[in-house]
């Protein structure tokens, strides 16, 4: 078997927060605290979880938008978390990103033509000026925007069209992996469907791998091959789509799924309503990070942190209840 | 008897590039204790409708016409003073973003007290006691401590609970909730939806729920009105609307949402797309507002706007073809 396209080993990112009058006392936000996963070529892995769980930080670490605290990010067998600037430059071409907000992620002063041409020039992909033009128009066709639109600026487009431009810009570099950070979350229902379909088509056409970061579980189920569920900077469960949606093992995954309102009036369901809020990542709870809200908490959860254990083929869960010797729930 | 009756509501805005007909002739009613959901995508006029009900549209550039009869009075004919006595008292509102709709420099207790002292004439001590009661009612732990805290000290879900406490403090007859859970995480959304359902049972207020999330609609609404480009295109009881949507736009919306669990039952399919975009509301629209994006549109649709017709019991839709069964799902 060929090595995975992307491998993340024990990734940690702690952001310092300054406190006090002279800003001497420094605490840390444990945004991502030991996360490991792999993505195969052409695969979609979704990172799901609520605000502040660290899913976007993982995406940004892979893009190396900042240096990580510890751990490894390996792209196609080569470490990129500590790569020198020249090597990194070439690696950046292979991992691109589509952001959530198509209003703030496109430069309002550039024409669409220049937005798309920039990555092609940066990475020296075009052989000539004609080749550049061919590539730029082909990108417009790929994302199904009219070619005449090349001379317009971002403000002349609707949200969905802007997101298409953002996708075209990511494709311009001919990447192998695209990080989609809540790429469809800001869009209206009917436009969201258009962009989801487009992403799926592009994945098939170009054999792209996607890291799909989202809080929308129905969209995730529709798009993904595998899912990693995050809570307070850790992965609590990772499994293929079928296992996550048919037989979720971690109590948090179950609660998350049961909380999604279904578009079926009168559907019989008993949502697991979690108590309280997500604790602060500055001072995450000791033991299992979910123990303060877990309906199945028992003594061991408060003192010992569970690690990811195999719970079936390709399914991994970080919960003491998955340990064969688990005590009964309180 | 209907608590609220809106007749031919038109809210237009003067803009440099022409008049924007954000809401263009919408009629609906809400019965006492009923939950009506208004759904539609950005720019369909759902929020402008709710702001018009509260008369929160700045005039000019806005202009509201038609009639809004609430408990027998036409709100559009009241003086500003009379309207102020209704806002926050008989009709109150919850907004999407609890951070921007709470005052950051006042304690939450003071903000709840304010409504009670103005509308109910309570003194400070009585209002304070009632504020603590309200916080308990909306499920905020340690309410005695929390009344003295500022909005930034609370989480998003807590802030939305405070907004609900303020909105319900004076026992309103009608609560307008504009995307009340859109900014919240799913587990917090589940808490807030459950709270709204519980409180509705206890307080008995009618609710107008404005949302784009069809899951939330199915969960708490009794009747649904679908808006598109400033018009009402369909209205039906919630089960009926989800079971047999008649308007092609409603059908498109329902087809565009993936269902949780669809990968397991083998019902997974490509999402339905509604091609194109919402028309520019600054230009006059002849014919059906949806004709430009509708797969079934004919010359009839492009020339004559369909009226709202009865398509079933309590079910109306504005489509020339819906009645013929050709588009019935």
CB A73 within 8 A of CB A79: yes
Cα distance from A264 to chain B (closest Cα, Å)?
A: 6
The mean per-residue pLDDT over the stretch B97-124 comes to 88
Over 90: is that where the pLDDT of A290 sits? yes
Cα distance between the two ends of chain A? 44
| Rounded Cα gap, residues B170 and B88, in angstroms | 7
Specify the DSSP element, H or E, that contains A260.
none
More confident residue, A324 or A318: A318
Q: Which residues contact A159 (CB under 8 A, 6 or more apart)?
A: A102, A103, A186, A187, A188, A191, B42
Q: Specify the pLDDT at position B42.
A: 83
Residue A305 near chain B (CB below 8 Å) = no
The topology (CATH level 3) of A6-252 is Rossmann fold (3.40.50)
Cα distance from B163 to chain A (closest Cα, Å)?
A: 17
Over 80: is that where the pLDDT of A328 sits? no
| Rounded Cα gap, residues B156 and A277, in angstroms | 9
Output the average pLDDT for chain A: 89
Q: What is the pLDDT of residues A113-132, one digit of tens each?
A: 999 999 999 999 988 999 99
Q: Is B16 exposed, middle or buried (0-12, 13-18, 19+ CB in 10 A)?
A: exposed
DSSP codes of every residue in B174-197: EEEEESTTTTS-HHHHHHHHHHHH
The mean per-residue pLDDT over the stretch A294-307 comes to 92
Over 50: is that where the pLDDT of A329 sits? no
Q: Specify the pLDDT at position A176.
A: 95
Over 60: is that where the pLDDT of A147 sits? yes
* Cross-chain Cβ contact A278/B185 below 8 Å: yes
Instruction: Characterize B127-136 residue by residue with b for buried, 16 or more Cβ atoms within 10 angstroms of its Cβ, and e for exposed.
Output: bbebbbebbe
Q: Specify the pLDDT at position A7.
A: 95
Over 90: is that where the pLDDT of B327 sits? no
| Residue B292 structural domain | 2-96+173-324
Q: Specify the pLDDT at position B329.
A: 42
Pick from B189, B218, B256: CB nearest A264: B218
C-alpha distances in angstroms, A65 versus A68, B64, B66?
A: 9, 49, 54
Q: What are B300's two structure tokens? A: 């009839």
CB proximity under 8 Å: A 50-89 to B: 50-51
| Rounded Cα gap, residues A79 and B297, in angstroms | 56
Split at pLDDT 50, 70, 90, the class of B9 is: very high
Pick from B42, B141, B238: CB nearest A265: B238
Q: How many CB atoms lie within 10 A of CB A262?
A: 17
Residue B45's region, left for phi above 0, alpha for psi from -120 to 50, else beta, is left
Q: Specify the pLDDT at position B268.
A: 65
Q: What is the pLDDT of residues B279-295, one digit of tens each?
A: 888 888 888 999 988 88
Which residues in chain A have Cβ-Cβ distances shorter than 8 Å to B257?
189, 193, 218, 263
Q: Is A117 exposed, middle or buried (0-12, 13-18, 19+ CB in 10 A)?
A: buried
Q: What is the pLDDT of residues A27-47, one digit of tens each?
A: 888 999 999 999 999 999 999
| Rounded Cα gap, residues B161 and B184, in angstroms | 12
* Cross-chain Cβ contact B219/A218 below 8 Å: no
Q: Which residues contact A302 (CB under 8 A, 6 or more apart)?
A: A286, A287, A288, A291
Helix, strand counts (H, E) of chain B: 13, 12
Closest residue on chain A to B267 (Cα):
A222
Percent of chain B with pLDDT over 70: 97
* Cross-chain Cβ contact A190/B256 below 8 Å: yes
* Cross-chain Cβ contact B256/A277 below 8 Å: no
Q: Specify the pLDDT at position B181.
A: 83
Closest residue on chain B to A241 (Cα):
B263
Task: Domain ranges for chain A, please list them.
Answer: 6-252
Pick from A192, A197, A264: CB nearest B242: A264
Split at pLDDT 50, 70, 90, the class of A268 is: low
More confident residue, B200 or A112: A112
Pairing of strands A234-240, A315-317: antiparallel
Output the average pLDDT for chain B: 87
Residue B44 covered by a domain? yes
The mean per-residue pLDDT over the stretch B142-154 comes to 88
Q: In residues, how long is chain A?
A: 330
Over 90: is that where the pLDDT of B99 sits? no
Which residues in chain A have Cβ-Cβ distances shorter than 8 Å to B141?
276
The CATH number of the domain where B247 resides is what? 3.40.50.300
* Cross-chain Cβ contact B239/A255 below 8 Å: no
Residue B132 covered by a domain? no
How many structural domains is chain B composed of? 1
Split at pLDDT 50, 70, 90, the class of A22 is: low
Q: What are A93's two structure tokens? A: 């071409």
Q: Specify the pLDDT at position B267.
A: 64
Q: Which residues contact B128 (CB under 8 A, 6 or more apart)?
A: B109, B113, B147
> Degrees (nearest 5) of the Cα angle A239, A245, A247?
75
Residue B253 covered by a domain? yes
* Cross-chain Cβ contact A259/B190 below 8 Å: yes
Q: Specify the pLDDT at position A20.
A: 65
The mean per-residue pLDDT over the stretch B233-237 comes to 95
The mean per-residue pLDDT over the stretch A167-187 comes to 92
Residue B66 covered by a domain? yes
């Amino acid at each position: 078997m060929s090595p995975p396209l992307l491998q993340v080993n024990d990734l940690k990112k702690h952001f310092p927060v300054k406190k006090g009058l002279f800003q001497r006392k420094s605490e840390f936000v444990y945004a991502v605290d030991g996360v490991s996963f792999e993505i195969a070529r052409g695969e979609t892995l979704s990172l799901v979880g609520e605000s502040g769980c660290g899913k976007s930080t993982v995406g940004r670490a892979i893009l190396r938008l900042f240096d990580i605290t510890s751990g490894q990010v390996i792209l196609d067998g080569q470490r990129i978390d500590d790569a020198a600037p020249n090597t990194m430059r070439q690696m950046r071409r292979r991992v691109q990103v589509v952001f959530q907000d198509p209003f703030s992620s496109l430069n309002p002063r550039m024409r669409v033509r220049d937005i798309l041409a920039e990555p092609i020039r940066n990475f020296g992909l075009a052989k000539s000026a004609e080749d550049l033009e061919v590539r730029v128009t082909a990108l417009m066709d790929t994302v199904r925007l009219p070619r005449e639109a090349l001379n317009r600026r971002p403000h002349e487009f609707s949200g969905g069209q802007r997101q298409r431009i953002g996708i075209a810009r990511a494709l311009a570099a001919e990447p192998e992996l695209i990080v989609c950070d809540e790429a469809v979350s800001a869009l209206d229902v009917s436009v969201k469907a258009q962009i989801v379909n487009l992403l799926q088509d592009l994945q098939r056409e170009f054999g792209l791998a996607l890291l799909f970061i989202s809080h929308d579980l129905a969209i995730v189920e529709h798009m993904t091959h595998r899912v990693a569920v995050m809570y307070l900077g850790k992965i609590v469960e990772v499994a293929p789509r079928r296992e996550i949606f048919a037989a979720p093992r971690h109590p948090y995954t179950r609660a998350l799924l049961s909380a999604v309102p279904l578009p079926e009036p009168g559907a019989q369901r008993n949502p697991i309503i979690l108590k309280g809020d997500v604790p602060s990542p500055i001072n995450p709870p000791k033991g299992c990070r979910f123990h303060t809200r877990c309906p199945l908490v028992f003594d061991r959860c408060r003192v010992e942190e569970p690690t990811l254990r195999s719970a079936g083929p390709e399914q991994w869960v970080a919960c003491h209840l998955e340990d064969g010797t688990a005590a009964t729930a309180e | 008897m209907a608590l609220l009756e809106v007749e031919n509501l038109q809210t237009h805005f003067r803009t440099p590039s022409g008049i924007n007909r954000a809401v263009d002739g919408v009629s609906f009613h809400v019965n006492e204790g009923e939950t009506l959901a208004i759904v539609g995508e950005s720019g369909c006029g759902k929020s402008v409708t709710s702001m018009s009900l509260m008369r929160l549209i700045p005039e000019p550039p806005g202009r509201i016409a038609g009639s809004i009869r609430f408990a027998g009075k036409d709100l559009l004919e009241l003086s500003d003073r009379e309207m102020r006595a209704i806002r926050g008292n008989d009709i109150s509102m919850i907004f999407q973003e609890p951070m921007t709709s709470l005052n950051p420099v006042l304690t939450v207790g003071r903000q709840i007290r304010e409504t009670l002292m103005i509308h109910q004439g309570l003194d400070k001590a009585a209002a304070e006691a009632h504020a603590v009661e309200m916080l308990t009612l909306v499920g905020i732990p340690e309410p005695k401590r929390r009344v003295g805290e500022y909005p930034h000290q609370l989480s998003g879900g807590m802030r939305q609970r405070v907004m609900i406490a303020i909105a319900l403090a004076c026992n309103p007859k009608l609560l307008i909730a504009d995307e009340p859970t859109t900014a919240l995480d799913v587990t917090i959304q589940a808490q807030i939806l459950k709270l709204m359902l519980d409180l509705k049972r206890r307080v008995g207020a009618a609710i107008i729920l404005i949302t784009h999330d069809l899951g939330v609609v199915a969960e708490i609404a009794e009747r649904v009105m679908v808006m598109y480009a400033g018009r009402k295109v369909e209205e039906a009881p919630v089960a009926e609307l989800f079971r047999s949507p008649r308007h092609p736009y409603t059908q498109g919306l329902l087809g565009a949402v993936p269902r949780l669990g669809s990968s397991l039952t083998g019902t997974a399919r490509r999402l339905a797309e509604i091609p194109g975009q919402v028309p520019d509301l600054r230009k006059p629209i002849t014919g059906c507002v949806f004709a430009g994006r509708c797969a079934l549109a004919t010359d009839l649709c492009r020339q004559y706007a369909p009226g709202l017709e009865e398509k079933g019991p309590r079910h109306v839709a504005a489509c020339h073809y819906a009645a013929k069964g050709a588009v019935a799902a």
